[in-house]
Amino acid sequence: MLAKQTPLTKQMLSKLLQTSSSKPKQLKKIHALVLTSGFSIKNSLLTQLLENLTLVGDMCYARKVFDEMHKPRVFLWNTLFKGYVKNNLPFESVLLYKKMRDLDVRPDEFTYPFLVKAISQLGVLVPCGFAFHAHVVKHGFETLGIVATELVMMYMKFGELKSAQFLFESMQGKDLVAWNAFIAVCVQTGNSALALECYNKMCADDAVLFDSFTVVSMLSACGQLGSLETGKEVYDRARREGIDCNIIVENARLDMFLKCGSTEEARVLFEEMEQRNVVSWSTMIVGYAMNGDSDEALALFNMMQNQGIRPNYVTFLGVLSACSHAGLVDEGKKYFGIMARSSDKSLEPRKEHYACMVDLLGRSGLLEEAYEFIKSMPLEPDAGIWGALLGACAVHGEIKLGQKVADVLVETSPDIGAYQVLLSNIYAAAGKWHCVDKVRSKMRKLGTKKVAAYSSVEFDGQLHYFNRGDKSHPQTKAIYEKLEEVLKKIRSMGYVPQTGSVFHDVETEEKESSLSHHSEKLAIAFGLINGRVEDPIRVMKNLRTCDDCHVFAKFVSRVTSRDIIMRDKNRFHHFRNGVCSCREFW
């Protein structure tokens, strides 16, 4: 006699769904069992099935299950929205929302955070982003933390800083999650000054206590700004308030020291760390490379390998950067070859590594080899790679290849004015002023603008900003007097203005006058009349420093016996007793 088959129960099916949550094929079989077992289609089993399908990424099948449901609750709509966002299917989220509105299903406070994330994934703010914001307001969710936070992050991503700031300041009952999210997005989008301002406001609110996430974001912000004093104060405050300064915090602190040019403090911290991981080692290697200490970067890489720490793609980026800043062509080729031949897919060279190699070859004068290297790439070269070659053409005054590369960049990235400026500078350096006029005329037609240069220097916990010829600072009179005093001294020692750094067709006297008021020089003069004599003057420049300011800083470090640390767009220059750490290779 045949044994009776045990009938399936709801509990048994639920258990099956739990144990098969990561197996797409198994989930479909269970769905068939649910449908053939006589259970109501409204029951919680389909809800559980839908959630599991979104987790494994089978959104087509998840949508079929959803469409079979009779009047699904808003929770289930949100589950599908969440699945689309998790699986990077933003357009499907928008279409589903349209259906939701057509069926007159009322959204709740958890609906819009997923939809706003979808807009960020779409990469287009207009019209959907504004439309969703309008619907948020219509349903009264604008001031809710979870919704407002996502809206703020959306606007920040699209560069709508004023809208993001306004929303954040009208947000009610901001908790630590909201503060941390806003500060983190500010840092991620390069608005570190705003992050610092926000942090100060948060600290003034006694109801909100910051945590290790806040500390990591703020150390990153201070690193971007070159604000060493503030970074130290943030960390010291965290220790005083008993915040867990784990390895993530310590790595962020390490990065902050290096981005502020304080390699000695970074090395002390690195040696003292109770725990070190691949991020710690990579941060040091990248930091040494950025600060022009290629020997230490490569020595640390060898030490890392000897200790059995497996390098990652960031480690190799630091190694290649170290080779690039020192002109170590053979070594760079060797390390790039190790990556290219590695069986580890995670070490496969990325576009950043190719850009490093182009920069290395180009700066070493191997421009044609760099060009052929780009043409042989298995990846499609982007603006960063072509831009590295154009920068090298500018350094070596290579007009013909520079024009060829600029044509490619105008075709692929017409909105990036920096490349047009580089080409203009190449022509200007060669005295081809008619070509300069043509490039600048094209820039005006395209609406591209040159990024304004500025320099900053920190004093007493505050950053002081200077533009060329700036006279807005409260200490302007003293700054210009100090600058003239220093210029007089260094001229007597042999300093001659590098007028080739002025890319305008004007008389020599006018060029010298223009050079003397560059933002770096004003920042250095400010540093000379403020702060302690034993402390280095730290200047942060948003663009590449010019030849004249480089020569000026060398003379000033010699005549004043003050160390000057200058970070420009590409690297650090450490000036001491008339010598620069770059060894004139930059």
Q: What is the pLDDT of residue 3?
A: 42
Task: For residues 528-555, give the mean pLDDT.
Answer: 93
Q: Are residues 447 and 476 in the same domain?
A: no
Q: Are residues 435 and 464 in the same domain?
A: no
- Give the pLDDT band of residue 2 (cuts 50, 70, 90): very low
Task: For residues 117-135, give the mean pLDDT.
Answer: 86
Whole-angstrom distance, CA of residue 584 vs CA of residue 586: 6
44 in any annotated domain: no
Whole-angstrom distance, CA of residue 556 vs CA of residue 490: 7
pLDDT tens for residues 254-266? 999 999 999 999 9
Q: What is the pLDDT of residue 507?
A: 46
Task: For residues 101-128, give the mean pLDDT.
Answer: 88
Find the range with the poorest average confidence among 186-190, 315-319, 510-514: 510-514
570 in any annotated domain: yes
pLDDT tens for residues 563-584? 999 999 889 999 999 999 998 8
Task: For residues 466-490, give the mean pLDDT.
Answer: 95
Q: What is the pLDDT of residue 237?
A: 93
Q: Are residues 440 and 484 in the same domain?
A: no
Quote the number of domains for the chain. 2
Task: For residues 124-131, give the mean pLDDT.
Answer: 83
Q: What is the pLDDT of residue 206?
A: 77
300 in any annotated domain: no
Q: Considering only residues 131 and 9, tell me which one the structure prediction assigns the higher pLDDT.
A: 131
338 in any annotated domain: no
Q: What is the pLDDT of residue 506?
A: 41
**Residue 61 and residue 37 in contact, taking contact as beta carbons nearer than 8 Å:** no
504 in any annotated domain: yes
Among 451, 486, 514, the domain-final residue is: 451
pLDDT tens for residues 12-58? 666 666 666 556 666 667 666 666 666 555 556 677 777 888 888 88
pTM for the model stands at: 0.82
pLDDT tens for residues 183-228? 998 898 888 999 999 999 988 877 778 899 999 999 999 999 999 9
Range with the largest mean pLDDT of 173-187, 244-258, 386-400, 493-507 = 244-258
Q: Are residues 439 and 484 in the same domain?
A: no
Phi and psi at residue 566, to the nearest 5°: -120, 120
* Domain containing residue 481: 454-580
Q: What percent of the chain has pLDDT over 70?
A: 89
Q: Are residues 469 and 570 in the same domain?
A: yes
Q: Which residues does residue 462 pair with via DSSP β-bridges, in sequence order? A: 459
Range with the largest mean pLDDT of 99-103, 136-140, 145-149 = 99-103
Q: What is the pLDDT of residue 10?
A: 60
Q: Are residues 461 and 558 in the same domain?
A: yes
Q: Which residues contact 485 (CB under 8 A, 6 or more apart)?
A: none
C-alpha angle 529-484-559 in degrees, rounded to nearest 5: 65
334 in any annotated domain: no
Q: What is the pLDDT of residue 30?
A: 67
* Full DSSP string of 272-287: H-S---HHHHHHHHHH
Q: What percent of the chain has pLDDT over 90?
A: 53
Find the range with the poorest average confidence among 35-39, 166-170, 295-299, 527-531: 35-39
Q: Considering only residues 49 and 2, tell me which one the structure prediction assigns the higher pLDDT.
A: 49
pLDDT tens for residues 378-408? 999 998 999 999 889 988 888 889 888 888 8
Whole-angstrom distance, CA of residue 167 vs CA of residue 161: 10
Check whether 448 has a pLDDT greater than 80.
no
Q: What is the pLDDT of residue 38?
A: 63
- The mean pLDDT of the chain is 87
Whole-angstrom distance, CA of residue 68 vs CA of residue 267: 61
CATH number, domain of 415, equals 1.25.40
E strand residue ranges, 375-471:
454-459, 462-467
Q: Are residues 405 and 471 in the same domain?
A: no
Q: Which residues does residue 398 pair with via DSSP β-bridges, in sequence order? A: none
572 in any annotated domain: yes
C-alpha distance from residue 445 to each of 405, 442, 503 (Å): 20, 5, 20
Task: For residues 521-550, give the mean pLDDT.
Answer: 93
Q: How many CB atoms lie within 10 A of CB 458?
A: 24
Ramachandran category for residue 71: left, alpha or beta (phi over 0 → left; psi -120 to 50 → alpha): left
